[in-house]
Structure formats: C-alpha cells, structure tokens
Chains A and B, each alone.
Chain A
C-alpha cells in the first residue's frame, strides 16, 4: 500500500490509537526525513544527539499542530515536519546562547524576549509538576479526552461504569491539575492570571 500524505493525516485524525501510532511510525521510521533533520542540526552548531532530540521534539509539535488544524496542506508533510524541526533548533539555540552574544545568523527571525523564554521554561516545569500529581489512569483519561474521544469511548477503553462516571472522573483529574496551578500564584501572575 502506498503511504500518501492523505492516508497519514486521516490516520492521525481518525481517533483510532492504532492508526495514529502507525501513522507516526511511518514518519518516525522515514530515514530520509530523520537524516535531513540531523544533518541540518549538525551543520548548524549541533551534534547527532541534538539532531535526534530535535527530531523527536518536532514530531511532538507536529502532532499538536495537526490536532489544532494548523497544517494548511500548502506543503507536503515531509516539508512541514522539516520546517518545524528547523524552527525548533533555531529557537533552542537562541535560548541557550550566552547572555550578551548576538548573532546575525537568522536576522529575519522574530526574536523572543529573555523574559518570555524564561517563563516558557517555568510554564513547562509547572505543567510537568501538575502531571506528576496525576495517576496513570488520569493521564490516560485526559490523553483520550484531548484526542477527542467521546465519553462513551473512554468508558469502554478504561472500564468506567458509565459515560457519566467517566466525565466525573475527567473533571476530578482536571481538578488535580488545577490544584497544582493554584499553588503557584507567582507563576500564574507571571502568566497574567490573577485568581
């Protein structure tokens, strides 16, 4: 079977975990794509290990963008993924540059403020801390919820007694996330949230 971009996109958005995994595996195991990204990173100040990390991060960002309908079909998936990887490496290098260094390497790129980069890192740590507060079942439930599984499907997958119970549990799991957020008022304030 010829694997086209349409088949991959349909599989990713199908709501079927097996198809999603299969689609991402097609991209993950695409040696040409992976080697292109690694080569880009190694010729722009990184090493092979950085290249691997960038490739994986690019896959995650790609997944999020596809789910949020940010991919506009104006390029192939290969090109789109490569562009994400390139952007990610540029941003990563900028974050880890020493203070005071200035580079004209990417003069046309939008420069993020140091503050914004700092709070992005803090936000990520806050999210990780909140997720650590969830058990595996909550994480699975919220993962399926984010993939637009219906409560009926989640009930069948996770063995709840009813969709109403699944919904209640989802609300409870999100409450645990919220609790961690509310315990960090300074960071919330930095994100312009005042509770």
Chain B
C-alpha cells in the first residue's frame, strides 16, 4: 500500500477529511477491495488504541478508590496548562520587604561610636553580618527529572572522602569502585509501572485472582518476598510477561543472577511485549554484578546505544558515560 493511501485512510479515520472528501473516499472504498481491506486493517489498529485507553481508564478507576487524582483547577478553573505561580512567592516577598525595612530602622538608630567617623555619603559596611547574607535566592521549581539527575550525578561523582589523621573528623574509607557501580545501577533502576492492569483477568465478573495477578499486586506494594512466592520458580513454559515480572522481583531481592536470566530470556524473544524493557534492565543487572559481567555489559550497551530505534537509547549512552567516569 502506498504512503499516500495510508495517510488518506488515517485522515479518514481521524475525521480530518472534508465532507466532499469523505464521500469521494467512501466511493473509492466500494470500488477498490484492496483499499477497503487496508482501511479495515488500519481501523483495527485504531480499535486496539481505543482498547489501550480503555484499559488505562479502568486502571485509573481502580486507583481512584483509594486516592483521587490531583485537581488541575485548584487555583483557577480557566487556568492554562502551565502551573500558576506559587503562593509562597508573595509570602517570601513581603517577608523580605518587612525584614529590609526593620533592618533599615535598626541600622539608622544605632548609637554612633566615638572612634568611627560616620560618613553618610559613603556608608561603611556594618560589623554585623547582613541578615540576608546566606539567603539562597528562590529558584523556580525544577522539573523532577532534572533534580533526580542532579542527585544521581552528585552521588556518583562526589569525590571520596580523604582520611586525614591530623583532623578530628571520623575516618571514612573511599567507596570501592564496585560499590560505585552498584550505587549507579541502584539509582538508575526505576520500578516498572503497575502491570496489574495489563494482565488479563477472568471474564464474566470472575473475581478469582491468578497467582500472577497476586504476584503483580505484591510487587506494586513492594512486597517482593510475597511476590516471589506467588510467581513461583522459573519454568521453560513461562510466558515473557511472567519472566519479566520475575526479573524485577529478583532484582529487588538482590538476586541479580536470577534477574539476569529472566531478562535475558525476555530480551531474546523477537516480539516479546517487554523486550525493550528487558534489555534495559538486563543492562542494569549486569552493572550490579561488575566486574564479573563487564564484557556482557559492554557488549549489550554498545548494541543498544547504536540502535536508533531503541526507546532508551539516550539513557543507555548516559549510563555508559557514567560507568566510564567511574573507571
């Protein structure tokens, strides 16, 4: 099918054709079986996308039983997408102004010293430290990812504490290189979003949960030992979803060898749903086992960082850069 036909069908399905164009297109469909089939296939893709949204909404409704979503209209129902300025700004401003005025009053009423010639035209610096010396300028709220990134960078790149017998500070040994790899991997690891909603539950109002669903729920609640119990031991017949979840459970239980095996199994399947996720977390698992798995880490890291379609390509490149810095 040509690209123009694909886009025409897409515009038809998303309601972007004019009335005349719709009539003409529907006439074409009647006369062209291939076009009609292509339309039906593309429509199925849109039905799948609707199903994704449906699953997402159901998952949210389950969460709303305990926690309602944030109210975006808290300050102004007609506010734009941007966040309104924080109220603490005005409070700070008035506070500062008040302090300035108070300090000014105090300063001008100070008794003059005999030994100091006061020249009002050139004010001398006060012997007292300015109350504002250590005031840190208020910064706008950074977006969370940048703060997290900064925190990770500081933790990884902070120079090891020097031990110095002449000083009274407690002696600390510089962190071993292996620990720094561990720290980097731990700080980079993020728990996967709740996968409970992505698991197929029984139809017809069957409330019986499968062991897999129980394992996923326990994982979401960070009860990894319970999750491991529900998910059971690895088996060759396990589906990739099961292995992927088991990989994460093992990771959080610090069974990195076990985690690596599970992620390797998922990553090796061509069309596994969680293939990319497995590849990423496999990389982190190799990092947790440095230096034993250095060769595997380097090899997988190179493959993923050179794959322009890999969704976490930039994260891989940054991770490799940080590992090199540790070396």
- Which A residues lie within 8 Å of B73 (CB)? 1, 19, 22
Interface residues of B in 72-100 (CB under 8 A from A): 72-73, 77, 81
CB atoms of A127 and B309 under 8 A apart: no
Q: Is the CB of B45 within 8 A of A177?
A: yes
Is A127 in contact with B47, judged by CB distance below 8 angstroms? yes
Q: Is the CB of A56 within 8 A of B192?
A: no
Over the window 292-327 of chain B, the binary record of Cβ atoms lying under 8 Å from chain A Cβ atoms (1 yes, 0 no) is 000000000000000011010010000000000000
What 1/0 flags go to A120-148 for Cβ under 8 Å of B?
Answer: 00011011101111111101001101111
The chain B residue sitting closest to A168, CB to CB, is B309
B residues near A146, Cβ cutoff 8 Å: 46, 49-50, 52-53
Contacts of B192 in A (CB 8 A): 136
Indicate if A116 sits at the interface (CB-CB under 8 A).
no
Q: Helix, strand, loop or mixed for chain B's interface?
A: helix
| Residue B225 at the chain A interface, CB threshold 8 Å | no
Contact among A69, A130, A172, A193 for B309, CB-based, below 8 A: A172
Residues of B within 8 A of A176 (CB): 271
A16: nearest chain-B partner, CB-CB: B81
Closest Cβ neighbor of B46 among chain A residues: A146
Q: With A and B bound together, what is the CA distance between A168 and B70 in angstroms?
A: 33
| Contact of B207 with A194 in the complex, beta carbons under 8 Å | no
Q: A58 to chain B: closest CB distance in Å?
A: 11
In the complex, identify which listed stretch (B146-154, B170-178, B211-219, B274-282) lies at the interface while the others stay far away.
B274-282
Query: How far is it, in angstroms, between the C-alpha of A29 and the C-alpha of B69 when the chains are bound?
Result: 11
CB–CB B64/A29 < 8 A? yes
Is A161 an interface position by the 8 A CB rule?
yes
Nearest chain-A residue to B76 (Cβ)? A1
Give the residues in chain B near A13, CB-CB below 8 Å: none
User: A residues within 8 A CB of B64?
Assistant: 25, 28-29
Report the minimal beta-carbon distance from B52 to chain A, rounded to whole angstroms: 5
Number of A-B pairs, beta carbon distance below 8 Å: 132
Complex CA gap A179/B41 in Å reads 11
Distance of B217 from chain A, by nearest CB (Å): 17
A169 to B276 Cα, complex, angstroms: 13
Which A residues touch B193, using CB under 8 A? 136
Kindly report which residue of chain A lies nearest to residue B207, judged by CB atoms: A49
B55-63, B181-189, B256-264: which lies at the A interface? B55-63
The residues of A that contact B41 with a CB separation of less than 8 Å are: 178, 181, 188, 193, 195
8 Å CB interface, A132-176 against B: 132-137, 139, 142-143, 145-148, 158-161, 165, 168-169, 172, 174, 176
B26 within 8 A of A: no
Q: How far is the CB of B54 from chain A (nearest CB, A)?
A: 4
A32 in the interface (beta carbon within 8 A) = no
Q: Is B209 positioned at the interface, with any CB of A under 8 Å from its CB? A: no
With an 8 Å Cβ cutoff, the count of chain B residues facing the other chain is: 51
**Docked-complex contact B48 and A127, CB < 8 angstroms:** yes
Q: Distance (Å) between the CB of B270 and the closest chain A CB?
A: 10
| Residue contact A131 to B48, C-beta cutoff 8 Å | yes
The answer to whether A60 and B314 have CB atoms under 8 Å apart is no
Asked if A64 is at the interface (CB within 8 A of a chain B CB), the reply is: yes
| Residue numbers in B under 8 Å from A178 (CB-CB) | 41, 45
Q: Which residue in B37, B49, B57 is a CB contact (below 8 Å) of A142?
A: B49
Q: Which B residues touch A188, using CB under 8 A? A: 41
Among A53, A127, A148, A193, contact of B205 (Cβ-Cβ < 8 Å): A53
Known A-B contacts A25-B64, A25-B69; the reply to A159 vs B205 at CB < 8 A is: no
Whether the Cβ atoms of B52 and A96 lie closer than 8 Å is: no
Looking across the interface, which residue of chain A has its beta carbon closest to that of B199? Answer: A132
Contact with B along A68-102 (1 / 0, CB 8 A): 01000000000000000000000000001000000
- Beyond known contacts A59-B57, A96-B204, A134-B273: 11 more, CB 8 A cutoff: A49-B205, A56-B58, A60-B54, A133-B271, A136-B193, A137-B276, A143-B52, A145-B49, A148-B14, A181-B41, A192-B40
Smallest CB-CB A-B distances: 4 pairs: A146-B49, A21-B69, A18-B72, A60-B54
Q: Point out residues on B near A: beta carbons under 8 Å.
A: 14-15, 33, 37, 40-41, 44-58, 60-61, 64, 68-73, 77, 81, 192-193, 195, 198, 200, 204-205, 207, 241, 271, 273-277, 308-309, 311, 314
| Between-chain CB contacts (< 8 Å), 14 pairs | A22-B70, A22-B72, A59-B61, A127-B44, A127-B47, A130-B48, A131-B55, A136-B193, A136-B198, A148-B14, A165-B308, A178-B41, A193-B41, A194-B33
